[in-house]
Every structure is written in C-alpha cells, then in structure tokens.
Amino acid sequence: MTKLAQQPRHDAADPKTDAKLPNVVPIRADSDNDPLANFHVEDAAGVATTTRAPAARRVVSKKIVSGIVAAVVLSVAAAATIVYARQRLNSAPAAKPAQSERARLNSRPEGASVIVDGIARGVTPLDLTLAAGPHDVLIRNDAGERRLVVNVEAGTRVSENVDMPVAATSGQLDIMSEPSGARVAVDGASAGRTPVKVRSLAPGHHVVVVSDGTTSVNRSVDVTVGATVNMFISLATPANGPTGTVTFDSPLELRLLEDGHLLGLSNGAPLVLGPGKHRLDLVNDSLEMKLTRTVTVEAGKTAHVAVPAPNGTIFVNASPWADVNVDGRSIGVTPLGDVAVAVGTHEIVWRHPQLGEKRKTVVVGAQTPVRLTMDMGR
C-alpha cells in the first residue's frame, strides 16, 4: 500500500489505523450555489477530482418522476370511474314500458276511416291498442267527418260510438193547408194530415193530393236531392170553381197571409186563389219585414209578384281605421255611417295595410240599424 504524504496538523487521524485521512478541498461553487458541487482529494500519488451532478439536472429528474406518478394516478382513477359507471348501468332497473289499453271505435253507418294522432288505423268498427293518455281521433266518410279526443286511462277499456253524416240521396216535402188537418197523399200513398213533413222522397216528379173530405186539391211538384219543398194548400176555394195561381220572386223567405190566415211561403209552391183582387201580407219577423201587395188573380192564369229585398242600414267603424267591404264590394274607409244595404245576411270585411284583415257575418233587418266596430290591433 502506498504511503500517504505528510498532511497538515488539522487533519484527523484514523483511530484504528493511526493513519491520516486525505484532504478534501473544495475548488469553487457552481451556479446553483452548492459549495461542494466540485471538489478534489489529494494524496501522495497525485490529485483525484470528483464532480457532483448539477442541481438543475436533479430538479428535472424529480419533475419527470412526479409526472409519471401523477399520470399513473390519473389512469387508475379513470379506470375506477369507468368500472363504477359500468356497474351502475348494469345494476340500473330496466325502463318501465308505456302502459297501453284497448279501445273500440264504432260509427253509424259503419265503414268510416279512422285516423289516430295523424296515422290511418283502419275502418269502423275498429279495435285498437292505444297508449294511456289523450289521442286525437278523426273519423271520416264520403259525407263528412267527426273529430273527437279519446282519453285512454290505465286499467280501462274505452268505447266510442259516433253518428256520421249521411250523404243526401233524397228530398222532402213540407205541406201545410188552410184549414189544417187535411189528409195528404203523395203518389197515391197516404202521408198523414197537415201540417206534415214527407221525408225520403226520391228525386223527380211527384203528385200531391190534399183533401178535407169535401174539397181536394192536386199539385205536381219536383223534388231535388237534399232540398225541402214547402207547399201550402188552400181548401177555402171550391175545387170545382175557377182558380188562378200566384208565384213570388224574392231572395228572402216570406210568409204569405191573407186576412191573417197563412196561405204559404214565398219560396214554396204557387198559391191557388179564386179570381179577383187579393191583399196579401208578406212577413219575415227575423228581418223586421212586413210588406203588403195587392194581386189580381184571373181564372186559369198565373200572376207573378216580384218582391226585392228592402234596404236596411249599417254603421261601421274601426280602430285605428280600415277599408270596408260588404259581400266583396268596397263601401269606403271608416268611419262609415248610414250605409244602405239589402236586408239579409252579409259578410263584412275590414282591411288595414299593416294590421291585416278581420271578418264578421251580420244579419241586417229592415228597421233597426246595425252598428259595427272592429279593433284591428287585436
């Protein structure tokens, strides 16, 4: 073993070998202020130098290790979260299916199409399975349709019966007489006593006989599909005496009276009257009309009486203002007062360039003015 060179007095002696330790001498401090970052050991053979790793490199190494540890922790946590979510999904109870019940839809007549919530489901009579709750049901045939809401409740069976429109295939007669109680026969078949309605008559020509036992009156009438023919038969004039007839041309239905006795309707069959002058009252109570006409009847001839509709009065206003049309004809810009229109039913239209259009149907009488106001902003 090489003997170490003589060292200064301050070196410590090895208590076991009684030899002196080599000197450890710092050279300089490096940039991280570590005074022992570089040092050398001196011995008899020469100088050996040992250098420690810089502090910056030690810090980077610590950060890398910390990052790896954090990544591992996050991965473990994510895996645990996924496992937990799967366990919750597997353990969650299955969704309860929507409860449904049976429903039966009937119509009279049968064979109508059924549409439930916008989906065609078949024709009546129809059995369906519907979810609990309200359903919009449309039942339709060639003559029309019916709409209803069917409310299906849990634990119940729903049944709906609907009367459908029936396409008109026939017409009818409404027969009155003076005096009343006269026997009526249509095409040779008894139809009752006046006043009487004879329904379900085939379209075409029919013969009506009205008799009080001593006097009989025959009438021929044409029946059309869906229409009602009003007939008034006067038995006051002997059947074998001379007679004439009177017809009325009017856009309105008027009751025809003579001396307070009802003779018929203006849109019904012609009146049969004896020769001479007749003072007739023409009445429509709902339109406040009572007109009087004097008619001269000649035997074997027909007298024609024209009865144009008289005028009523309307007052029309609007907020803020509007252009007004009556039955498609402009009558000006509001406010409008004392405007003459024919009695009867009319459609009033208000128009404003920014506020749009409003409509209303009114009945105008012959006596009382009609006053109308429209708020265009509503």
In a shared domain, residues 300 and 333: no
d(C-alpha 374, C-alpha 378), whole Å = 9
How far is Cα 272 from Cα 263, in angstroms, rounded to an integer?
A: 9
What local confidence, expressed as pLDDT, does residue 316 receive?
94
Q: Are residues 175 and 147 in the same domain?
A: no
Kindly report, residue by residue over 78-95, the tens digit of the pLDDT.
Answer: 777 777 777 766 665 555
331 and 241, same domain (yes or no): no
Same domain, 302 and 315: no
Under-70 pLDDT residues of the chain:
1-63, 65, 69, 73, 88-100, 167-168, 236-241
pTM: 0.42
Q: What range defines the domain where residue 297 resides?
A: 171-306
Task: Give every CB contact of residue 194 below 8 A, 6+ residues apart in sequence.
Answer: 175, 176, 177, 180, 181, 182, 184, 210, 233
CA 126 to chain centre: 24
**Count of C-beta atoms within a 10 Å radius of residue 364:** 24
Q: Determine the pLDDT at residue 335.
A: 93
At residue 28, the pLDDT reads: 47
| Mean pLDDT, the chain, whole residue set | 78
pLDDT at 13: 45
Q: How far apart are CA 118 and CA 135, in angstroms?
A: 10
Residue 162: in which H helix or E strand, if any? strand 158-163
Do 210 and 268 lie in one domain? The reply is yes
* Domain-located, residue 114: yes
Query: In the prediction, which pLDDT does 51 show?
Result: 47
pLDDT, position 79: 74
- How much is the pLDDT for 14? 47
Would you state the torsion angle of the CA atoms of residues 6, 9, 15, 18, taken in this order, to the nearest 10 degrees? 30
pLDDT value, residue 9: 47
Number of domains within the chain: 3
In 170-201, which positions are buried (b, 16+ CB within 10 angstroms) versus exposed (e)?
A: ebebbbbbbeeebbbbbeeeebeebebebeeb
Say if residue 256 is in the same domain as residue 315: no
What pLDDT does 188 receive?
83
Q: Are 317 and 298 members of one domain?
A: no
Instruction: Identify whether 274 is part of a domain.
Output: yes
Q: Kindly report the CATH number assigned to the domain that includes residue 142.
A: 2.60.40.10
Flag whether 183 is in a domain. yes
